[in-house]
Amino acid sequence: MTDALYASVLRLDRRAIRKLAITDPYSLHRVVYSLFDDTRTEAEKRGHDPSGIVFVDKGGNRLGRTILTLSDRAAAQGVIRDGEAFGEVESRPIPEDFLRHPRYRFEVVVNPTVTSAGKRVPIKGRDAIEKWFVERSAENWGFSAPAQSLQVGQVNVQQFKGKHGNHITLSQAQLTGLLEVTDEARFRESFARGIGRGRAFGCGLLQIRPVIDNPFGS
């Protein structure tokens, strides 16, 4: 892997969540993106050039919240708002050989949609989401994900306002399973950039760990 990637964990306590006014996917998007230098021009943003940042909200408990990020540049050590620092960030570079394994266990939150008559239409139903994921992974993302290994977890729909006050509806589904790399270059791109739509709002980050064959197995 020639381009550096960084995995980071952002931990926010209850006070930080309140002070940063994290109430929906857009407010969380603003907080996460504030950790990184803005390297895109306005034209590149309008053209939907990749931001180099993907993230997922892992939720939390009464004490706080955890967000995982993957980026092509280092994160700041905390979120600065009105001269005050919030949160704790731990970062580490992705090792060169991490993406050279043939198989991985994975977890991902996706925005399962198709385009119909020029509009994005959400995929409904767990079986349909599973079928969509299997097909897209084989066609676009550089890996195969056997249906028998897949589990579709939480499925939800969030509605919120975007940067310009526009109403956004975001469908999300959590999937876990096994994947086998079929196209190494495309798989690396999928890992680095995230998969599917909704990446600016916490979808698409492939959380993976290599499957290591047991040397003592039969």
pLDDT of 218 reads: 54
Structure tokens at 109: 């939150």
Is residue 126, in this structure, part of any structural domain at all?
A: yes
pLDDT of 202 reads: 97
pLDDT of 5 reads: 97
Please calculate the CA angle 139-140-143 and round it to the nearest 5 degrees: 80
Q: Pick the last residue of a domain from 60, 93, 126.
A: 93
pLDDT of 171 reads: 96
Q: Could you tell me the residue range of the domain that residue 83 belongs to?
A: 6-93
Q: Is the entire prediction scored with pTM above 0.85?
A: yes
Distance of alpha carbon 72 from its chain centroid, rounded? 14
CATH code, 126: 3.30.70.1210
Long-range contacts of 149-156 (CB under 8 A, 24+ apart): 149/177, 149/178, 150/175, 150/176, 150/177, 151/175, 151/176, 151/177, 152/126, 155/126, 155/129
pLDDT of 1 reads: 44
* Cβ-contact 74, 91 below 8 angstroms: yes
Domain identity same for 113 and 44: no
pLDDT of 10 reads: 98
Report which secondary-structure segment, H or E, holds 80: strand 79-81
pLDDT, block means (10 residues), the chain with 218 residues: 85 96 95 92 79 94 93 94 94 95 98 89 95 96 96 95 90 98 97 96 98 73
Domain identity same for 102 and 87: no
pLDDT of 138 reads: 94
> Distance between CA 173 and CA 195 in Å, rounded?
13
